[in-house]
Amino acid sequence: MRIAAAVAVAIAAIGTLSLKSGREETSWTSLLDKDLSQWEMYLSYAHKTGYNGEIPMDENGDTIQPVGYNKNERNVFTVLEENGDPVLKISGEIYGCVFTRQEYENYHLKLKVRWGTKKWEPRLNDPMDSGILYYSQGECGHDYWRSWMLSQEFQIMEESFGDYWSQMTSMIDIQASRPQGSENFRYDPYGTRISFGFNTGNPGYCQRSSDYENPAGEWNSVELICFEGRSLHIVNGHVVMALSNSRYLDGNVTRPLIKGKIQLQSEAAEVFYKDIMIRELKTLPPEFNSYFN
């Protein structure tokens, strides 16, 4: 009996270790170093107040070319050092992004972000703005601001951390409701499942459930979980949005949008990012399954 009990305990321990291993998935990988070796960049224009979405023109009516890929004009992107660790500074002076060289599909991304003090046209009187664009595919510069790829957006904006925006022809489903007196939909885990984005008949925008941003000048912990076309926006430990059925319109055909690069936006505000870490997911962490039931 004692031997049998010992065997049973050993088997249980092995099972526990297996479950623990499965939950831990792969180890974390840092995406930020002093050379931005895992990123490329794209810059478009220093947009002016009154911009209407068209390609900017000069005084002669000729099309102005964007700055383009991997040309760090005005040092929009620089890596500083804080306590021996790299910190990415994005000045925001020119619209654009840094984007990962590698594509990712099922993953857990975490990072820290805080605002600087500088703002630029055309957002001098607007909240500071940036964002994480995920499932990013194709070329930069075909969206409204001529700056980013086809993607889904985890909004990083003052008092709006975790909002959703569609980029180009992307679409996604969110359980949402429209609070009384509001023009905007808001994530509501008990709300109706609604399709947002291109060609859905609904806006390409949905607000996060609540505001969990830290006071100005403090670092915020942000996490993005992506798994098989589902995603979670997490701000300072709080799930503020669950999204599913990520897709896009390719001509007349709707296709899944479940894999791509990661972009960090330059959008007329000074912002800092650090501790950018990612790990592959083999399964959706079980503590988040209820958000998709």
31-41 pLDDT per residue, tens: 999 999 999 99
Q: What is the pTM of this model?
A: 0.91
The domain spans of the chain are 31-47+74-292
186-202 pLDDT per residue, tens: 999 999 999 999 999 99
216-226 pLDDT per residue, tens: 999 999 999 99
62-121 pLDDT per residue, tens: 999 999 999 999 999 999 999 999 999 999 999 999 999 999 999 999 999 999 999 999
Q: What is the pLDDT of residue 26?
A: 84
Residue 258 near residue 246, CB atoms below 8 Å:
yes
What is the chain's length? 293
Q: Element (H or E) spanning 112, and its range?
A: strand 107-119
Residue 241 near residue 153, CB atoms below 8 Å:
no
Mean pLDDT score, 4-20 = 42
**Cα 93 to Cα 95: distance, rounded to the nearest angstrom:** 7
**Cα 270 to Cα 91: distance, rounded to the nearest angstrom:** 4
Q: What is the pLDDT of residue 293?
A: 86
Q: For 31-47+74-292, CATH number?
A: 2.60.120.560
